[in-house]
Amino acid sequence: MFDEEKILRTMQEAVVSGRNIRLRPTRLCLSLLVLSAAVWVGAVNYQVNVAYAVCFWLIGFIGVAALMTRRQLAGLRVRLDYDGEVFAGETARVRLSISHPNPQVLLWWRSVQQNLRDAVGNSSEHWQRYVADKGAGGLVWEVHTVRRGYFPRPLRLCFATSAPFGLFHADCRIEWQTGAVVYPCPLPHDDSGSRIVADTETSARQTEHNGDDIAFLKEHQAGVSLQHIAWKAYAKRGELMDKVFDAPPPAAYNETISYRDYPAGTPADKLAGLLAYRVLEAERLGLHYTLQLYQTTIAPQNGQRRKCLNALALM
């Protein structure tokens, strides 16, 4: 298990410090240590000054390698940006911005989502190489989602390196603490389709209704009712003109999307998916709508789509 004290928790941005880094010797390092011990034994037994020098040189080289490997991660700055939307079963794409004061740093990174390994496999856990001098543009962290609600937790990124000599393996983990949510997967159904279409047609008929006041005259079009022809204007100018009346504004139709439209006892996840479908359909058709949930009602307002989907995600 990874030492919990070595995990750096962050909201949107994190800077890795020395206390967040775990350092382990590699097999090559262990081999050099064994070689150094053998040289030391030989130097003691045979009193060879050159052997002492070689032993101290190997120990010094191992120590310098440890410091240089640690510096590959120390000072690493990671920023995470996510402003999109994701529905259950889809993959959220989080933008990564990585920078380091050392322009020659070489490291690898991967996602660690233990709770989703059985659901989505290990596709999100492969190592990806990052080279600082080639820039950090285009790095994307794919977060797999299974169900609605808050993003799966814990969400961790692991950074590791063995540069520059391969004698030590340094790694650290960053835990992303986010309030982002996964929207419920829309479940298409015919419950609201007929009502929406019928009310849209009613609104259209109301729009076509004419008032009593003449707004202006326009050129005559074939097929227009004789009652709409401006006969007085024809008598004066000899041109057929059509009368255009002031039309009263159509009554605004407010679609009510309510949990009461479905049988009692409907599973929460299924109900959220059904309501999400109707919200998205109402948005697509440009309708005014009100979402009624168990303990809240969201009336028409700015940002209603996001507020409704957030409420359904956490319902």
For every residue of 35-64, DSSP letters joined together read: HHHHHHHHHHHHT-HHHHHHHHHHHHHHHH
Residue 132 confidence (pLDDT): 67
Query: Is residue 199 very low, low, confident or very high in pLDDT (cuts 50, 70, 90)?
Result: very low
| Residues 149, 67 within the same domain | no
| Residues 53, 115 within the same domain | no
Query: Which contacts (CB < 8 Å, 24+ apart) does range 131-135 have?
Result: 131/105, 131/106, 132/98, 132/99, 132/100, 132/102, 132/103, 132/104, 132/105, 132/106, 133/103, 133/104
Domain assignment present for residue 153? The answer is yes
Average pLDDT of 94-120?
Answer: 75
Q: Residue 79 sits in a domain of what CATH number?
A: 2.60.40.10
What pLDDT digit, counting tens, does each position of 216-227 carry? 677 777 766 777
Domain boundary among 162, 182, 202: 182
- Answer for the pair 280, 229: CB distance below 8 angstroms, yes or no: no
Q: How many CB atoms lie within 10 A of CB 61?
A: 14
Residue 47 confidence (pLDDT): 84
What pLDDT digit, counting tens, does each position of 1-43 carry? 455 556 776 667 888 988 889 999 999 999 999 999 999 998 8
Domain assignment present for residue 275? The answer is yes
| Residues 104, 173 within the same domain | yes
Question: Looking at the 3D structure of the chain, how many domains does it have?
Answer: 4
Domain boundary among 226, 245, 264: 245
What pLDDT digit, counting tens, does each position of 181-190 carry? 999 999 998 7
Residue 105 confidence (pLDDT): 84
pTM to 2 decimals? 0.69
| Residues 90, 154 within the same domain | yes
| Residues 137, 164 within the same domain | yes
Average pLDDT of 280-284?
Answer: 92
Q: Is the pLDDT confidence value at 138 over 50?
A: yes
Report how far residue 176's alpha carbon sits from residue 180's, in angstroms, rounded to the nearest whole number: 11
**What domain range is 231 assigned to?**
210-245
